[in-house]
């Protein structure tokens, strides 16, 4: 497909962007430029680390550009590559209208929900938290408003009972890359009609906060299980427990759902090493 495909810019930052780049690469779809976020301090050691997309670009000898913001200077630099279109996967910045219009054939955005449901930063986690059994991937025309462009293609997938955000996202990335590869020839020929989104059905998936992973152990088992599935990998799930007037935060590292019950297996109490939840209970701690 590479010989028939006009040059394009890929915009993306985290692991889903890298995974999409790799899958497109296997189809012979290789960007002329990767635009990604600048290196940033990550992890407990606050080590300055390149984005996943930048690492992929370096490994495959693809030029990359890491602007702090998509201002006029950034748009000028990107436009100098004279690419026909853009592809966006989890870039995390709002595109100014001028940048979108600088691409003769437009900009495609891959979003991991069936739009207009779950516009925003956390569509995968929000679907799991809400206990949905169906989600999907949408390929849309980039618009200045977040995830609000016309839809070019949608593919639905089932959410499995055991899915976490990591496993569900991996399948969505696969589906998204395959769907994108299948529609690109029509998109390039301008033979692909976009469908406007129904604004009356719009819902949002906000940025994830640390407190989203809070479990209420005395609460609903289904809610706790869905919270666990959504946030176990990021930002982590936890609860509070009390003993003799002392209140501590307890991280959950492993749990499962059986006979309609949320069952915690392994935990890390605040200031302690990982242990079985049963041992923690025997010590007299009372989870909230």
Q: What is the pLDDT of residue 4?
A: 74
Q: Which residue has the tokens 């666990």?
A: 228
What is the longest distance spanned by two Cα atoms in the chain?
A: 71
Domains by residue range for the chain, with CATH: 2-204 (3.40.50.170), 210-287 (3.10.25.10)
pTM score of the predicted model: 0.93
Q: What is the pLDDT of residue 3?
A: 46
Q: Are 29 and 23 in contact (CB under 8 A)?
A: no
CA proximity to 227, closest of 127, 153, 99 = 127
Q: Which residues of the chain have pLDDT under 50?
A: 1-3
Q: What is the pLDDT of residue 222?
A: 98
- How many other CB atoms are found less than 10 A from the CB of residue 97? 10
pLDDT in tens, 209-241: 999 999 999 999 999 999 999 999 999 999 999
Q: What is the pLDDT of residue 2?
A: 44
Going from the C-alpha of 269 to that of each of 32, 218, 275, the distances in angstroms are 48, 18, 8
Sign for the CA dihedral angle at 65, 71, 75, 76 comes to negative
């Amino acid at each position: 497909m590479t010989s028939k495909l006009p040059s394009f810019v890929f915009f993306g930052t985290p692991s889903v962007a890298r995974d999409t780049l790799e899958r497109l690469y296997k189809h012979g779809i290789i960007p002329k430029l990767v635009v990604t976020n600048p290196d940033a301090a990550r992890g407990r050691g606050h080590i300055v680390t390149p984005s996943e997309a930048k690492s992929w670009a370096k490994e495959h000898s693809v030029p990359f550009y890491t602007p702090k913001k998509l201002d006029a200077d950034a748009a000028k630099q990107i436009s100098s590559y004279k690419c026909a279109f853009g592809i966006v996967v989890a870039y995390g910045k709002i595109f100014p209208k001028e940048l979108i219009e600088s691409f003769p054939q437009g900009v495609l955005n891959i979003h991991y929900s069936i739009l207009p449901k779950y516009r925003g930063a956390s569509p995968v986690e929000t679907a799991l938290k809400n206990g949905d059994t169906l989600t999907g991937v949408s390929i849309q025309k980039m618009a200045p408003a977040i995830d609000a462009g016309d839809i070019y293609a949608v593919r639905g997938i089932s959410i499995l009972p055991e899915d976490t955000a990591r496993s569900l996202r991996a399948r969505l990335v696969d589906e998204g890359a395959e769907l994108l590869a299948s529609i690109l020839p029509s998109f390039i020929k301008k033979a692909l009609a976009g469908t406007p989104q129904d604004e009356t059905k719009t819902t949002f998936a906000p940025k994830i906060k640390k407190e989203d992973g809070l479990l209420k152990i005395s609460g609903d088992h289904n809610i706790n299980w869905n919270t666990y599935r959504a946030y176990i990998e990021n930002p982590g799930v936890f609860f509070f427990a009390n003993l003799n007037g002392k209140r501590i935060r307890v991280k959950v590292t492993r749990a499962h759902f059986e006979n309609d019950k949320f069952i915690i297996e392994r935990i890390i109490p605040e200031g302690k090493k990982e242990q079985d939840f049963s041992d923690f209970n025997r010590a007299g701690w009372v989870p909230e």
